[in-house]
Amino acid sequence: MSFFGFDTTLPNKKGFFDNSDPFAEVARARAAGQQDDDDDAIDFEDTYDGLGDQLNEDQDAFNDDTFGDVGEAAPVGKDFDFFGRTAQVADAFGEEQVRYNLQYPAPSEGVAETTTQTNAVQEPKPKRTGYEKYEDPGYIPDLQAKSSVWGVSKKPEEPIYEPPAARRILSLEEVEAQLRQSSARSTLLAQPPVSLPPGIPEPLYPPQQMPLLPEIFSQIPPEILQAQLAKGVPPAQLLQHLPQPMVPEPYSLPPQAPPGIPLHLLQNANFPPQHMVPPPQRHAMPPRPLQQQPPLPPQALQGANNPMPVITNPQQLMQLPEEQRMAYLLEDAKRAKRNHKIFLLSRFNGLMTPQDKNFITRIQLQQLVAAAGNVGDSDPEAVLAEDFYYQVYSQIRGAPRQHPHQPLGHFAQTYLFQTGNRFGGHGGRRNGQNADNHMQRMQQQVQRAVEAAKAKPKNKQLIIEGSLGKISFSNAKAPRTMLNIKRPESSEGGKTAKKAQTDLSLTDRKSILNSIENVYNNLMAMEDMERTMPPPPDESDPEAIQRHMEWRQKVRSLNQKLWQALKVMEPIVPNANTPHPFIAFLSYPKGKKAIPRIFRQIDQEQRVTILTMIVVHLDTLDVVRRSQLAPGESLSLDVREAVELFSQAVMPSLLMYVSEAPFNIIIGLLGLVIAQTHVQTVAKTRIGLGILTMMLSRAEIVKEAGQAEERDWQQWVEKFNVLFDTLEPIFADIFPASINAGDDMYVWQFLAAVGIGASPEQQQRLVIAVKDRVMETVNYSKTLPPDMGSQRLGNVNLFMRAIGLDVELLG
């Protein structure tokens, strides 16, 4: 039978006290704990200073007198053997430990549970050394403020926050009674003696992780607690409202955070929250129940900038004139409302510390930066690449409203600046400087984030092994996540194969469209080059000259690429089934539209080459070929559109060149028309006639200006005569089929051009050939409304005057 009546003979229950060297465990544990710290073992010999050797040890003579004679004394009893006795209940210690831990699994729940589950702890328990708690660096040895010591009586009206009876100090009798009871039961049940009666705590071994909350509350004057609780303030927040000095000195909070309280609450408890409206007043007068505290006089809150008279008591208010009183009351109500609102909101004060907020802000800023991708560059090139249509459109037509494009970089900067102000605004804050540092750090971080985002743009995509494509993450510029199909490794090979195919079939629709696109891409590249043209070089600045030279070089190479893409120089195959690539190019609206832009980018020689190409193929040109009509037919809509487009897009460019072209080129072109094309076919179309008119009128202008040499002129006249002779039979047929078919001005223009250049004899033949049509038109114009009629007459007159006549003469 042991001292406490515990059965100590349970098998396999070895514990601390079973060890021969109980402190070996401690040493081991400590060694384990220190392993990473410091391995330098301190040798006794190294550190012993030898002072012990100087001790005078020769005066032991009266030891027996002092300590009693050992020899004649009664045999030594066992009652000092505390170790042995305690060892017998070592198991009970361990069990109690485990049971307690199970009962209070987390410190925060410590208040709720009582000892009702005492029987539940019969499972095998891990071996314990009894020193576990010392291995926990955060361990705080029981700081139990026993309020009874200080004469503060327990408040029975705080049942919720009082761990039931846990704090009760039992008298010796009570303890013994309990022990006796439990030992009796343990013998009864043959169970480990852990099953204490429910509701009775273990007085001798107070739990090591005593929840601190109630303890702290017990130090607060009860009135305040009650007042706060009555208002439904949660206990955690109560704590937060408590200024530190409130707690009596010896029981102030331990320097480390007690385990049960979230860190940030404590942080806030240490410096009063800034937006908290009531706290200082509230806690400054502890014994007074808060609810009876009169509302703060408004002046106390905003006295300085209040224009109202300072009112300290109701009488003063009554003495005020009616208006002022009303205004005052109104103001008062407003303030009350505002204060109430602030109070309501203040419930959430301190949920986030400034650090938390900064953290969030930082994350948001980083996301902003990452989303923008390449923020800092408000470089016009990048903007143009992303926003080409809008930018150019705005330049062309004027922005539809004030410039809404705000570079994100600027935005981010603004935002940063604002946050800086916001934090700086809390003047007089103790850690204001810290906040500044924080902002600086944040700015630096944002900058780093920007740079990182710039440095590796590859991160925008995720490539999953074995997948077909890659997933690109969305950002502000490309909000939709896209799946990009992976290009096969042999993309180069694929391209060359395609190119070969293109060469094989220059004429199929797809390859023609492809080559048109190719031309456009070259055009755009050249137009981009135009924008980046360096300023005209200064003679004295070799670097600028160098830059200019390089730029010119690039333009030249681009020009060459464009020229090749146009395929103007492809060999002409006579009588081929398929049209020349360039003519095919011109047969698509896109190709026609490209001509003006091409003419801007090429030099005169290239222009004349293109003109020559067109003239040579005049009768295979789609607008000529498809305009050939059998009698009674009229042009289909798409042909008319094509003709219209050609005359709007291509003709002006050609005309521009021809109007400046040297005479010999005109002669050569006319010769080509006569030699290479079916002139009669060409002349029956609007475009063909237009080109002929162009050349004839240019020759006339050259002649008028007297720039033509005699020899050239002779050549020209020869050619002209051939042309005239060829066309003479069909002069009547070059008109649109019926007289009311609409616009025939271009024919009259052509006839006028022929008429001017013709000899008097030719003019007569001309008049005879078209006389009928002239008469018809004149008559027809009389049936038309005056304005349309005079227009038609004007057209005819254009021709008549060219040969020295007038419609007026026709009567």
Partner 1 sequence: MLFFSFFKTLTNQTVTIELKNDIRIRGTLKSVDQYLNIKLDDVDVLDLDKYPHLSSVKNMFIRGSVVRYVMLPRSEVDVGLLEDATRREAANQAGKAR
Question: In the complex, which residues of this chain contact partner 1 (CB under 8 A)?
Answer: 385-394, 396-397, 400-401, 404, 472, 476-479, 484-485, 487, 517, 520-521, 524, 590, 593
For the record, the structure tokens of 569 come out as 């120089």
C-alpha to C-alpha distance for 585 and 437, rounded to whole angstroms? 66
Q: In the complex with partner 1, which residue's Cβ is closer, 248 or 494?
A: 494
CB 296 within 8 A of CB 281: yes
CB 524 within 8 A of CB 561: no
Q: In the complex with partner 1, which residue's Cβ is closer, 62 or 389?
A: 389
Q: In the complex with partner 1, which residue's Cβ is closer, 265 or 384?
A: 384
The least distance separating partner 1 from the CB of residue 647, rounded to whole angstroms, comes to 17
Q: In the complex with partner 1, which residue's Cβ is closer, 440 or 484?
A: 484
C-alpha to C-alpha distance for 10 and 208, rounded to whole angstroms? 26
Q: In the complex with partner 1, which residue's Cβ is closer, 379 or 538?
A: 379
The least distance separating partner 1 from the CB of residue 685, rounded to whole angstroms, comes to 26
Around Cβ 276, how many Cβ atoms within 10 Å? 17
User: Based on the number of CB atoms within 10 Å of its own CB, is 579 exposed (0-12), middle (13-18) or buried (19 or more)?
Assistant: buried
Q: In the complex with partner 1, which residue's Cβ is closer, 133 or 590?
A: 590
The least distance separating partner 1 from the CB of residue 401, rounded to whole angstroms, comes to 6
Q: In the complex with partner 1, which residue's Cβ is closer, 227 or 372?
A: 372
Q: In the complex with partner 1, which residue's Cβ is closer, 368 or 723?
A: 368
The least distance separating partner 1 from the CB of residue 559, rounded to whole angstroms, comes to 19
- One-letter identity of residue 199: G
Q: In the complex with partner 1, which residue's Cβ is closer, 285 or 385?
A: 385
- One-letter identity of residue 486: K
Sign of CA dihedral 110, 113, 116, 122: negative
Q: In the complex with partner 1, which residue's Cβ is closer, 400 or 427?
A: 400
The least distance separating partner 1 from the CB of residue 512, rounded to whole angstroms, comes to 17
C-alpha to C-alpha distance for 71 and 87, rounded to whole angstroms? 29
User: What's the order of all strands across the beta sheet hosting 482-485?
Assistant: 461-463, 469-472, 482-485
The CA distances from residue 371 to 380, 406, 415, 482, 763, in Å, are 19, 15, 15, 15, 76
Task: Tell the residue number behind the tokens 């600027």, with chain if given.
Answer: 410
- Terminal Cα-to-Cα distance of the chain (whole angstroms): 155
The least distance separating partner 1 from the CB of residue 458, rounded to whole angstroms, comes to 11
C-alpha to C-alpha distance for 158 and 226, rounded to whole angstroms? 9
Around Cβ 758, how many Cβ atoms within 10 Å? 20
Q: In the complex with partner 1, which residue's Cβ is closer, 124 or 404?
A: 404
The least distance separating partner 1 from the CB of residue 622, rounded to whole angstroms, comes to 21
**Residue count of the chain:** 811
Task: Tell the residue number behind the tokens 């419609």, with chain if given.
Answer: 807
The least distance separating partner 1 from the CB of residue 485, rounded to whole angstroms, comes to 8
The least distance separating partner 1 from the CB of residue 367, rounded to whole angstroms, comes to 15
C-alpha to C-alpha distance for 358 and 420, rounded to whole angstroms? 11
The least distance separating partner 1 from the CB of residue 566, rounded to whole angstroms, comes to 17
Q: In the complex with partner 1, which residue's Cβ is closer, 24 or 392?
A: 392
The CA distances from residue 145 to 100, 215, 551, in Å, are 20, 6, 86
C-alpha to C-alpha distance for 270 and 263, rounded to whole angstroms? 11
The least distance separating partner 1 from the CB of residue 687, rounded to whole angstroms, comes to 22
- Burial readout 215-232 (b: 16 or more C-beta within 10 A, e: otherwise): bbbbbbebebbbbbbeee
The least distance separating partner 1 from the CB of residue 516, rounded to whole angstroms, comes to 11
C-alpha to C-alpha distance for 544 and 546, rounded to whole angstroms? 5
C-alpha to C-alpha distance for 219 and 146, rounded to whole angstroms? 10
C-alpha to C-alpha distance for 530 and 555, rounded to whole angstroms? 8
